[in-house]
Amino acid sequence: MNLERYRRQILVKELGEKGQSTLLKKHVVIIGGGGLGSNSANILVRAGIGSIDIIDYDVLDLSNIHRTSIFDEEDIGKSKSQILGKKLQLINTEATVKGLKRRITKENIESTIKHADIILDGTDNMETRFLINEAAVKNRIPWIYAGVHTTNGMVMGIIPKQTPCLKCISHNYSDKKIGEIPIFANLPLTIASIQCVEAFKILQEKQVSGLIIYDIWKQNFDQIIIKRNPKCTCCCTEEFEFL
Ligand SMILES: [Zn+2]
């Protein structure tokens, strides 16, 4: 394997040649190809993840472009996942990049993630996140929760049975529709970047950083260490309500 492309990244001691070689062997599934997912996919393809699946059912809308960095106006009306698969493959022809036009449901999530070393959350709703959480816990696959709203973003790396799961920190699920979420233009790129760092740590079997909360307007960065809920119905007793 020619590592020349990654020469400057390998110089970073947190990764090194060993870490880079590890990333090249990994398979990542990104659920959602919008603001978060497209930016995370872009970072991972360039950083040398060996294989990436990007799952999204939607087509690109003009109002998506302000918070993404791969799409252009000619992509409007086309499948986000298929455009990402095509464009990102050209960026790194040594990686395997697949864009899958698929809506994630309880029927297909386990087959979608079964070969993943890690799952990245690029969704925009809590129902799908709880579904990912349960599928990840059931199949013991780490995943990285990420969310954006106005100028605030959150990231949490979740290693089933080791770190708190989404249900441990969020008991009260509400399916109330909240309408269009306001999002500051470059927030998803920043949060996607933090999400990818947490993914690199997990893929190298290093510790994650707890719940990370970042306000891009106030430039306020918080890191909260949370314990697992010993009564969690997802990661402790494994009573899955969304799967
Ligand atoms: Zn839990």
pLDDT in tens, 91-140: 999 999 999 999 999 999 999 999 999 999 999 999 999 999 999 999 99
The sign one gets for the Cα dihedral 144, 134, 169, 124 is: positive
Question: DSSP character for 12?
Answer: S
Q: What are the residues facing 209 on neighbouring strands?
A: none
What is the Å distance from ligand 1's center to 133 Cα? 9
Between the CA of 96 and the centroid of ligand 1 the distance, in Å, is 32
Query: Rounded to the nearest whole angstrom, what is the distance from the C-alpha of residue 230 to the centroid of ligand 1?
Result: 8
The answer to whether 70 touches 46, Cβ cutoff 8 Å, is no
Say what the pLDDT of residue 57 is. Answer: 98
Q: What is the pLDDT at residue 170?
A: 87
CB 68 within 8 A of CB 41: no
The pLDDT value given to residue 1: 73
**pLDDT value for 2:** 81
Q: Which sign, positive or negative, has the C-alpha torsion 129, 133, 134, 136?
A: positive
For residue 222, report the phi and psi dihedrals to the nearest 5 degrees: -120, 145
Cα 150 to middle of ligand 1, angstroms: 27
Ligand 1: centre distance to CA 189 (Å): 28
Task: Report the distance separating Cα 189 and Cα 102, nearest Å.
Answer: 23
Radius of gyration of the chain (CA): 17
Which segments of the chain have a pLDDT < 50? Answer: none
- pLDDT, position 179: 81
Phi, psi values for residue 16, rounded to 5° = 70, 180
* 235 CA to centre of ligand 1 in angstroms: 4
Query: What percent of the chain lies above the pLDDT cut of 70?
Result: 98
Chain centroid offset of residue 215 CA? 19
Per-residue confidence (pLDDT) for residue 95, from 0 to 100? 97
Distance (angstroms) between ligand 1 centre and the Cα of 233 equals 7
